[in-house]
Amino acid sequence: MTENDQNKLEGYFKTGLFAIMMFLTLIATFHFYFAVQDVIGIWFEYEYESIFGAAFSFTVIVVCIYLIRSFIVSRN
């Protein structure tokens, strides 16, 4: 195996590992999001659940937009 082939193989391994980690992070993020929704239902009165749920969802959207702007858009 030549050094070029070994570098390619190492690059494929790193790319695959990155893809797996991103997939696991996505699953954990969904789990966290829905767990927080359940916690909101437990901690707050029924009348206020939708208000706090909306505030949490809005916060998630704002953080996602900020991360997209700072990491993806700034690199282009």
Domain that holds residue 39: 3-73
- The DSSP letter of residue 1 is -
Q: Which two tokens stand for residue 16?
A: 């695959």
pTM over 0.75: no
Contacts of residue 5, defined as CB under 8 A and 6 or more positions apart, other chains included, come to none
Domain count, the chain: 1
Q: How many CA atoms lie within 13 A of 5 on its CB side?
A: 2
Handedness of CA 15, 63, 54, 56 (dihedral sign): positive
The whole-number pLDDT of residue 76 equals 58
The whole-number pLDDT of residue 8 equals 86
Cα 33 to Cα 49: distance, rounded to the nearest angstrom: 15
The whole-number pLDDT of residue 20 equals 92
**Sites in the chain below the pLDDT cut of 50:** none
The whole-number pLDDT of residue 18 equals 87
